[in-house]
Structure 1
Amino acid sequence: MGQKTIVQFFDDLTGEALDPDEVVREEFTFEGVDRILEGSQSSIDQFKLAVAPFADKAGKVKATRRSTRKGTDSGVSSREVRAWCAEQGIEVNDRGRIPKEIIAKFKEAN
């Protein structure tokens, strides 16, 4: 016996059935939760119209940068370890993780 799966789209606001080419997605965040509203262009326009007075009065959130870690897992400063390595003639990359063996040598010397 053969099977046929039919995917049907519905407007989130009206519940109306939509053709795939009629579906419009609007992504937004409300109370800290990312959400997606799917519906007809008319429903999305209605949503935007309802939210607009609040959005116009609300401040914009500036994009935040990920904080960069300072130091190493061992509790010593990466900058200090790299400076010590330079003094000792030990090659170590300017960026990235410092090998544990080098950190151990730094701790022994200090």
Structure 2
Amino acid sequence: MAQRVAITLIDDLDGGQAAETVQFSVDGRSYEIDLSSGHADELRTALAPYINAGRRQSRSGRSFTRTAVRPDPGTLRAWARAQGIEVPPRGRIPQRVYDAFAGTD
């Protein structure tokens, strides 16, 4: 048996039929809203002065921060024991041990 599924967009402002989904971003947060042609035009008209005065952001995406590479856990445990620092034989190594190790460089 064949089926036909119809998806109808509903205008998020007035509940009428929407013609498109508009995407926009403010303060680093992205939004999308389903709008009729009239409401989409109103939104674009309202934003036009700000868009014209603004700069386009590159699509390179998020900026990345460099993270420090942590030492091998086995090496760190051996170093800590040699220094008289109590460290669990398995599981998570406390941050204070990493901090102490970093201070020896």
TM-score (normalised: structure 2):
0.49
TM-score (normalised: structure 1):
0.47
